[in-house]
Amino acid sequence: MATRKKAAKKKASKKRPRKSGGPKGLSLKSVAPSFTVSDLQKSIAWYQDVLGCVVKERWESDGKLMGVELAAGDVIVMLSQDDWKKGRDRVKGEGFRLFCDTSQDVDRLADQIKARGGTLAEEPKDQEWGARTLGVEDPDGFKITIAKIKRRGR
C-alpha cells in the first residue's frame, strides 16, 4: 500500500507548476515574415528571379493583386502592396534584418544570385561565430543575411 501512495504522490507532483523558472516560454516551429512593399510586381520579380523563391499563393481584391506568399524551401515570406495610408515617404527596411539558415553552399548561392542579375550587399565571408554568410537587400531595402552555420560534428 505504501508503494501505491508513493507513486500517487509522484504523479501529483508532476502536475504542480514549477516553482523555479516559472511557466515555459514561447516555443515556435517557424516564422513567416510579411513585408509591405512599394512596388509589388517589382518585389515579386526580385524574390523569384534573383533569390529563386516560388509564389505559392496570390491574394487579390476586386481583381487587383494585393499580395503573395512566397516559398523558399520550408520557409514562407509574404509580400503585400503598400496602400500608402501611412504616407509615400515611409521608410522601409530600417532597423530590420532577416536572418536565414541554409544547408546550401553560400558561395554557390552568391554566384547564382549574381548570375541572375542580383547584387550582393555583403560578399560571402566566414564569421567568427562559426558561419559563412552573404547579404542581400530587396528593392525596398529589407536586409537579408543567408548563412550556413558550421555545426559541430558535421
Residue 16 lies in a domain: no
Total domains in the fold of the chain: 1
Phi, psi angles (nearest 5°) of residue 66 = -110, -20
Residue 8 lies in a domain: no
How buried is residue 88: exposed, middle or buried, by Cβ count under 10 Å (0-12/13-18/19+)?
A: exposed
- Stretch 137-154: mean pLDDT: 87
pLDDT of residue 1: 47
Residue 115: pLDDT band (50, 70, 90) is very high
pTM over cut 0.85: no
Residue 18 lies in a domain: no
Residue 99 lies in a domain: yes
CATH number of the domain within which 56 lies: 3.10.180.10
With a CB cutoff of 8 Å and minimum separation 6, the contacts of 98 are 33, 77, 142, 143, 144, 145
Residue 50 lies in a domain: yes
- Stretch 134-140: mean pLDDT: 96
Residue 120 lies in a domain: yes
Domain that holds residue 59: 31-83+93-149
Whole-number Å distance between alpha carbons of 53 and 75: 10
Residue 21 lies in a domain: no
Q: What is the pLDDT of residues 21-79, one digit of tens each?
A: 666 888 888 889 999 999 999 999 999 999 999 999 999 999 999 999 999 999 999 99
Residue 70 lies in a domain: yes
